[in-house]
Structure 1
Amino acid sequence: MAYDGRVMRLALERFDEDRRARSEEQERRRERVFARQPRLREIEGELRSTMSRIIAQALRQGTDPVPAVERLRNENLRLQEEKRTLLRQMGLPEDYLEEQPVCPICNDTGYDAGGVCRCLRAYYAKEQQKELSRMLDLGNQSFDTFELEWYSDQVDPAKGISPQENMKWVYDVCAEYAHWFGRKPGNLLLFGAPGLGKTHLSAAIAREVSSRGYSVVYDTASHIFERFESQKFGREDEAQEDVERVLECDLLILDDLGTEMTTAFVQSALYQILNTRLMEKRSTILNTNLTPTELARRYTPQIASRIEGEYQLLPFVGQDIRKLKKSRKKP
């Protein structure tokens, strides 16, 4: 699993903010308890100073430290018992003054033996969804809100299938893709006229995949190629990070492919993206208003070969859903 450096920095900021807030609240809680029972503050101070005081005394006298350690142990046990007794008398748990970690796996460090702990991954998933929500309506564009009723159930004689049946198949492929992401690598080409649901199903996939902690980058083809150009000519310091995000994320969703000005540089950048991600077995979804034949004419044979050979082709058919919804007329 790859992590987007920019998103991880945001996640770590929120993680640290919450950890500091918990520590500050714990300190306020301790102060309220000390105000009610000052002896508890004294005990806390004595427990902190006991070891250094007794060991230092033993070393100064040049005596065996073992008896000093034993006295330390007994004194600590007595103080701890007094502390527990006072807390019980106040109707509080015995560990009320101790800060308990929210995550028992990593003790609120964010990392365990396997790397990033699941608690920090949860922060990462939240921050990533915020990033995606800037371009996608993740709140409304989900698998649950995709309505097949907007597609005609009339069979197309030329294809032997209705738009609704076709889109039911497309929906099922996308839902399975999202469900098995990370276990079944794969790539999708979503193509068809505007307003047929490509963005909706792309957002639904992004929403489910990112919620499980995978890194997802969703951006338009024109903006991505712009960032590659800035990186190539060293125009911006952040461009290198943007290029790395595109090449290294777990899932790249490249939207509006074919709307950019197709230059030699764009063809080179697109080939680099497709080829690099295929070689590293990173999944990619391409959204375009062009047919596979039109894509092959616009781009190089090498690009067309990569798409035709490595991507599952999903045709979106029917009437413009946005226009139908505007008139509120289902087929």
Structure 2
Amino acid sequence: MGYGKRIYEEACAELARRKTRAEQTAEMGLQNFYRQCPRAREIREEMAVNSARAAKTVISGGDVRRELEKLKATGLALKAEFSALLSQNGFTEREITPQYICEKCRDTGFQDGRMCSCLKALQRQMAYEKLCMDVPLSESTFDSFSLEYYKEDERTYPQMSNILRVCKEYAGKFRADSSNLFFKGGTGLGKTHLSLAIANAAVQKGYGVIYGSAQTFAVALEKERFDRTDLDGTGDTNSQLIACDLLILDDLGMEFPSAYVNAALYNVIDTRMLAKRPTIISTNLTLKELEKRYGERFVSRITGNYGMLEFIGSDIRRQKRMQRKNKKQL
């Protein structure tokens, strides 16, 4: 899952904190029990010695079965005495045993050498929260996308209805090797809303999503071009843009023009295409304007490898402002 190195490390650190808290709490409970009942500590020490004897018996050979049966009986008797003392002194097993949030991996994040579902879920949660810090992800859903703003003419409504249908189907079937989408059209027509609705669905499925405007990425790329202080690579924007499961590049063409940024964006788009990692690009520019800005090869890559969706209609933001203004006047 392409959540990035930073998300993975933060999730592992959180699991480590959970594990430490559970074990420290249990140890505190156990020490309280020992202070109240010194015999309990003695029993635990005897149980440890008994287990060690069992291990030595297996190694030494001889009449192993008989000796192991004696040691097993001793161990069961000690365990029963310990449990009885626990109850008599008002303690429970839960109070002296680590209560891990994930019992499968005991909050280590791995089970039988494989990543546990708890670590996957935690990465998904952190990725979602990080995305929500920058964009209103919870508000940008397919249910909140209204077609009422497109009913101005006979051409706009069916066009936008079809785009909504295509985006819903794309989100519903989204996979790590899904196709690319290219949203073009004027401002305020729903391009960002629908791209975030797709992002929402992808994150819920457990995929790592990176969303941002071309301007945001351009600033980061330019900064890291000259800033080599981040030696561990956790802030390497270029690597994260290439490696994530789904990249959403919003407002292409609105970034400050730079030959370096143009080349870097082309490299990201081209590398992701060759690796069959899906990308969604939105822009207010026409294809001719994009060609003038980035060159024929850049536009050829997009037109030949992206599903083109043209957004039409009147600026929804302007329509909403007019509606609010009219309500105030009433």
TM-score, length-scaled by structure 1: 0.83
The residue number in structure 2 matching 1:310 is: 305
For the pair 1:246 / 2:212, whether they are aligned, the reply is no
Superposition pairs of residues 44-193 of structure 1, within 5 angstroms: 44-52=44-52, 66=64, 71-86=70-85, 97-99=96-98, 101-113=100-112, 115-155=114-154, 161-162=155-156, 164-182=157-175, 185-193=178-186
CA deviation string 1:3-30 (max 9, x = no partner): 3101112212222222222223333444
SS, match of residue 328 in structure 1: helix
> Could you tell me the percent identity over the aligned residues?
36
Task: Give the CA deviation at 1:240.
Answer: 6.3
Task: Give the CA deviation at 1:308.
Answer: 0.4
Contact 1:194 1:289 in 2 (8 A): yes
Contact 1:186 1:283 in 2 (8 A): yes
CA deviation string 1:220-241 (max 9, x = no partner): 2123233333444454425862
Code of the residue aligned with 1:191 in structure 2: it is K
Runs of 5+ unmatched residues, structure 2: none
Structure 2 Cα separation of the partners of residues 43 and 323 of structure 1: 77
Structure 2 Cα separation of the partners of residues 272 and 132 of structure 1: 24
SS, match of residue 263 in structure 2: helix
SS, match of residue 139 in structure 1: coil
The residue number in structure 1 matching 2:251 is: 256
Q: 1:239 to 1:91 in 2, by over 3 A?
A: closer
SS, match of residue 6 in structure 2: helix
Q: 1:236 to 1:254 in 2, by over 3 A?
A: farther
Structure 2 Cα separation of the partners of residues 258 and 152 of structure 1: 29
Task: Give the CA deviation at 1:310.
Answer: 0.8
Task: Give the CA deviation at 1:253.
Answer: 0.9
Count residues in correspondence.
322
Contact 1:251 1:284 in 2 (8 A): yes
Structure 2 Cα separation of the partners of residues 63 and 12 of structure 1: 44
- The farther-off stretch of 227-236 and 11-20 is 227-236
Code of the residue aligned with 1:118 in structure 2: it is S
Structure 1 Cα separation of the partners of residues 246 and 61 of structure 2: 66
The residue number in structure 1 matching 2:2 is: 2
The residue number in structure 2 matching 1:328 is: 323
The residue number in structure 2 matching 1:11 is: 11
Contact 2:16 2:107 in 1 (8 A): no
CA deviation string 1:135-156 (max 9, x = no partner): 211221222222222222521x
SS, match of residue 48 in structure 2: helix
Q: 1:114 to 1:208 in 2, by over 3 A?
A: farther
For the pair 1:225 / 2:225, whether they are aligned, the reply is no
Runs of 5+ unmatched residues, structure 1: 156-160
The residue number in structure 2 matching 1:158 is: none
Contact 1:196 1:318 in 2 (8 A): yes
- The farther-off stretch of 131-140 and 290-299 is 290-299
SS, match of residue 211 in structure 2: strand
RMSD of the TM alignment (CA)? 3.3
